[in-house]
A and B are shown apart, each in its own frame.
Chain A
């Protein structure tokens, strides 16, 4: 037995260059952690170090974009458009979150050095979730991300809301991880491999087709929890409301996008439609139908629940649920794409959607953080009464972000929606067309609660006193970047999409 095992061992094709962006982020995290333990409370230094690390990582990413080999580390690390585009989203989200969190420096006693280190480790996890072409890597990335985010949600140790948020997130998150893991074990059992490329080549001739189906269902439950789709969304509003506001913004933009990245890779690339194989056709049809139903439910339940909310953070939590539903429309579009090129374009569209959502959402959360004051006291709709003409800059920016979340033409949200709806519509199946119609109807429903915030800000009388919050330099930078981003992605989306879908993905040679 031992000799057989030894013969199977192969020297890995180690290519540090292929994981350079991830390494830079991880090392920056370690440096920040060590620095903070020797010289605590140096908020500016740890923040600046983290930003430098993220910028260096982005530089490494751009220099290997389309250059590095298609896959490395014995096929465990992919190097395709999916990885590149999503990694860019994560780095952006992380940098913006650090800038938004600077509001804490003035008013709260949060252990910010630890926070910066945790944020970097979470980013590292997200990057590996997008890069992993093997279920082991995806699992490790997911857990690195999750464990760091559990702590970040509970950062305010003495605040009951924060404690509660962390505990709910931890228990439901690890519950979901267990399902995900069971799914991975069953897929491994059915295909004798944990590599996504090999799984894709095995789905037509799996040893136990039934296990493949059950494993797929378990994976949908696990990933469904992570991206917060109905019916696995129950944790989202509570966790988002209780977590510190900058962390909520991060959780809505980053971890959700990273869960989408691995969800896409496992399902669209791992469970393709192999012509001539009955089992793969059945598996493919099952997951497309299941996700279509989930997407319809997610959009509708998210939007309808958002209407009745009186807390802005909770409203944005339900809005993030409905946005996961819209992104899933593009996901399904990628799943049913007929050619490799269509598939890569649909994947790029989902990545672009997550980028536009991140830009808009982080901008909105920057303002919500600013208005919330110490310990997130002012997050109700009533706290926004009549601030429109008292703080015009904040009110007009927040209105712009709300319009972009709604999907008004010329804003990022509009282009994102158009691009994710198109592949599903082009597939021509009745169920998918119905889904797109429901998505458009949902967009109209969502106008109610996005516009409500604008109405509250501009047309209601303020009864309580209003203290204009001071906009720090870092926060001004966030607002400028996000406002420019909203217009840039809304008007010049072609450049970004071209970049995102430019490189053929790893599997293109093997399937066709």
Chain B
């Protein structure tokens, strides 16, 4: 039997929450970034589930956009993290603390 729309939505909700909690609790910039990717993929699952449910391609098209944007974001983001690592020899966000009141 094919899983219902509800189970897909529940799975994507759970994945999104895991990602969001991960971003808040992780201290490693790479780890945080991976959690953000997890959130984006949860969104993709939601789009595909609804796209299938309605028999409408818009949702799948949106997923392509999200994937290409996520790839561009990864390229820029890792570059930024590497620039930080070169000067600090750390990717721990707690070390990013010069700018504070």
- Which residues of chain A have a CB within 8 Å of any CB of chain B? 1, 4-5, 8-9, 135-136, 139-140, 143, 147, 150-151, 154, 157-158, 160-161, 163-168, 170-171, 174-175, 178-179, 181-182, 184-186, 188-189, 192-194, 237-238, 241-242, 308-309
Contact = CB atoms under 8 A, between A and B. Distances in A.
Contact of B99 (A9, A154, A242): A242
Interface residues of B, number: 47
29 contacts: A135-B62, A136-B61, A151-B79, A151-B80, A161-B99, A163-B80, A163-B88, A163-B96, A167-B80, A170-B77, A171-B23, A175-B23, A175-B39, A178-B19, A178-B40, A178-B43, A179-B39, A182-B16, A185-B43, A185-B59, A185-B62, A188-B50, A188-B58, A189-B50, A192-B56, A194-B58, A194-B62, A242-B98, A309-B101
Nearest to B38: A178
B18 interface: no
B29 A171 contact: yes
Contact of A175 (B36, B42, B47, B100): B36
A248 B31 CA distance: 28
Contacts of B96: 163-164, 167-168
Given A143-B72, A181-B43, A185-B46, 20 more contacts: A136-B62, A140-B69, A147-B76, A161-B99, A163-B88, A167-B96, A168-B96, A170-B77, A171-B23, A171-B33, A178-B40, A178-B43, A182-B43, A184-B62, A185-B50, A185-B62, A189-B46, A192-B50, A192-B54, A238-B100
A241 B99 CA distance: 7
B68 to A, nearest CB: 9
Contact of B57 (A8, A158, A164, A165): A8
Interface in B49-93: 49-50, 53-59, 61-62, 65-66, 69, 72-73, 76-77, 79-81, 83-84, 87-88, 93
Contacts of A186: 46
B43 A164 contact: no
Contacts of A160: 87-88, 98
